[in-house]
Amino acid sequence: MKKILFFCSMVMFIFFFAGCKKSTPSEDYKCTSCKTTPDALPENNNISKGVYKGVVIGSTGTIQFNIANGSSTINAVMVLDGVTVNLTSDITWHAGSAYIAPFNGTYNGGPISVHFYVNADGSNPQVVTSNIPGHPSAVFIIEKEQSNFLIECFEGTYSSTAPETGTFNLLVARALGLMGGASRKTGSAVNEDIDGTVSSDGTLYIDSQAVGKIVNDTMSGSFKDHNNATVTFQGKRTL
């Protein structure tokens, strides 16, 4: 199985782990619309066909691309600030080639576009540009789901005694023991990348330090940053 690399290196969060304390999230929440097994098909694992899932920062949301996974259908569904947007593309998939295409739709009564790219072997999926009125600094963090591991998307928030608040979104592949994502301070247009691991019991680690836990479809955690401020995050699975 091809190993996937989750996201960029840490920018600020690499300094955040001098005094982590565990936090136990509520077990009550269940994402009833979320899948419990992968949508991706085995024959698409190492090609550009397939399923790609991601989180959006700016404001917050999720996105899922279907690139001819089991049929000729090519589309995407984005949920941004709770609003569902159906996106379509008329660019045909071709075997042995990278796939790049604009996906178009309507958001809050106006046209939007999201340009998607992935290498021929399914690696390096990304949104290269987007035009979403009201969200000029939206950033998409995308991973390819494969038939032997499910990609889960969590949307959350954080607060700090600095004081500071913001968005805290994660992608998790529990079968691989990997997680990653991004945070963004409220009012900022700059992301802080998150890269780490998740243990079999749902404990989240960054730089080998426990920073929180996933219980069923809920995540939470609390830790000290490099300024000795307490950073607390929480969120729920939405895709």
Give all strands (DSSP E) within the chain, no chain letters: 50-57, 60-67, 74-80, 83-88, 99-107, 110-118, 126-131, 139-145, 152-160, 164-173, 178-185, 191-198, 203-206, 209-215, 218-224, 230-237
CA–CA separation, 230 and 238 (whole Å): 26
Edge-to-edge strands of the sheet including 60-67?
A: 126-131, 110-118, 99-107, 83-88, 74-80, 60-67, 50-57, 139-145
pLDDT given for residue 12 in this prediction:
37
* Total residue count of the chain as it appears in this document: 239
pLDDT tens for the chain, 239 residues: list them.
Answer: 333 434 333 333 333 333 444 444 456 899 999 999 999 999 999 999 999 999 999 889 999 999 999 999 999 999 999 999 999 999 999 999 999 999 999 999 999 999 999 999 999 999 999 999 999 999 999 999 999 999 999 999 999 998 999 999 999 999 999 999 999 999 999 998 999 999 999 999 988 889 999 999 999 999 777 788 888 999 999 99
CB 103 within 8 A of CB 127: no
The pLDDT value given to residue 26: 55
* Angstrom distance (rounded) from CA 58 to CA 43: 34
pLDDT tens-digit readout, 98-133:
999 999 999 999 999 999 999 999 999 999 999 999
pLDDT given for residue 227 in this prediction: 80
pLDDT score for 27 = 60
**221: number of Cβ within 10 Å:** 26
How do residues 151-174 score in pLDDT, each as one tens digit?
Answer: 999 999 999 998 999 999 999 999
